[in-house]
Structure 1
Amino acid sequence: MAAPALEVDGVRKSYGRRPVVDDMTFDIRAGELFGFVGSNGAGKTTTMRIVLGVLAPDAGEVRWLGRPVDLAARRRFGYMPEERGLYPRMKVDEHLRYLGELHGVSPAAARSAAGRWIERLELSGYASEEVQNLSLGNQQRVQLAAALVHGPAVLVLDEPFSGLDPVAVDVMRDVLAERAAEGVPVLFSSHQLSLVERICDRVGIVGGGRLIACGTVAQLSAEAGRRLLVDAPEAGEDWAKGLAGVEVVRREGSRTWLRLAKGADDQRVLHAALATGPVSAFVSEHPPLTELYRDLVAGERTPGEDTGERAGAGVAVSAARTAGDRSGGGER
């Protein structure tokens, strides 16, 4: 197994007496797509901003390649905030060149990279348009280009798929897969759990400011216990009642979905179903990420909406300035 490239170790953050990140610990390997999921206010955005150095933790440490993240390392990070962090009156190509130079890229290299990402993200027809004149979906593409224009070694993306149509989702997904294939660790949050399940190598589930589960979807499914679909046309509603380690999840007509605790005997379930009459289906299922998420976060108390989880425009520029240690101009 590859060594961790990016490590978040015991990070804590509070606003006043209200903790929003509590002992957050996980790692991401080189070339790994890591999905970061949780409800609004769970602490995802605050964690990401701590990784970027936009916020300072109260405790804990972020490490890159085994060393504490410093200014030089942060210059190699790419960040895409959930809220638009772009100057609305700047033209797309001008904006990307500007952000590239903030990260220390030469003007010529920034111009070349801006053109390359404009073409790759299918924005060629909008290069000379002001950002404010673009649709929300195309602004999202520009936001991704802004995170990529300086050739980052790490990508941290907050809800990158938000507001995109299916074609744009495919483009975004392919770009992230390409970056990962080149060894870039990619951390991104999303509420689109089916998409996260489909494209991520591992998933971290956040609740109440803490990481409550982490692993591949297959690992999380195995830890959550087995699921059974039983179709017993002549069974009554309570046919599975009293079976040790068995919980009825739902019923639809003659079909019953069951959750089995670890160690529960599925053969006892089959015998109980057969005792009612014929059994048309007896299928072991792996729960989807959506169901795993609901089970894991049930009862978790979110410590409150993250202060700053919904910052306005300028966050991406602020991150670039932090990384580049340069002061930028006003709105252009």
Structure 2
Amino acid sequence: MLTMSSDPRVVGRAFEVWRAALLEKGVRDGALWRLPEQRIVFRNQPDSRSERLGSRTSLGTDSTGSYWAVQINEADTPGDANVTSGIAVDEGGVVFLIRQGRLNSPVAGNSPILEEEFSRLTGLKPTTVLKGDTSGKKREWHIVTRLDVGPDEILDATGRFVDRCSLARLRYAEADGDLPDTAPIGGLGRDEDAGSYTVGAREALEPLEVRRLQGEVWQALTSLLRPTGIAIDKPRHAAGYEVDAVVAAPGGALLVEIKTGNSAADVYGGMGQLQLYPKLLPKLGDHDLVLLLPALPQPALVKAIGECEVRLHTYRLPTTAGGRVEFEKAFLRLCGLN
């Protein structure tokens, strides 16, 4: 059971803790900040040039900041339930950032996503909040994050809430037939894991260790690009389709599909994904397409790939433990590395 706080000291302090967590880990990038671990972006609203966060903060999963999933706004009057965000305290004195289950449309005149739809589209259940209603109106509140934890926990919880809001907007637009032209990117996938994992023994089969080869390639590329300021991300559609890599190369954005084999099946799969992803995620429509393989396929396939206006590049997996993935120089130049 939570109770909405109207104490200016409690409310002011709580919002400052939340904003401080965002700024501590946020990476400034033009008019917005990025949180690489949580795969969200945010900015001061409405003054995007501000180096500080004020009472209104916009957050989203669209890496360009063109679409915002949700705003977290501090009320001028602490405890005002007419404002969609607030601070609540439980019986033990733990402080929480909460938000109403409603999202206004970014398009003027379009209907908002209200409480019942918000819960259905996000899968989130509201929390009972005393003093969280206004006269004649019962409002539904959701916990964004508790605030008595460290910055990492605050950001992870905030990132999950923002991701759910983005998902709700995408599903709502899809139901209204607004896709694909107005569809925001559904989110950004987590960084790929490398290493290995174990397939458990079944019947007469011994446990099998499997290398995460694609993760090794992804992490090797990331380790080269991110230290130089070249962004690499993994956009994903709300339905679960996830791109291998989008590289913000100086010469133009790249949509990269990584395969760990060079067979005909690998080529067919990679080429199909490169053709489909720009349709599922329309903002990728102007990206140059790149198929990244561990070696060149058969000459007929190389020729066909070129005729499809897809750039073909290769990499080499390490042959010994602890070795590094090696990318051909032409591909690294394409990504913006000398």
Q: TM-score under structure 2 normalisation?
A: 0.29
Larger RCO (alpha carbons 8 Å, 6+ apart) = 1
Structure with higher helix content = 1
Q: TM-score under structure 1 normalisation?
A: 0.30
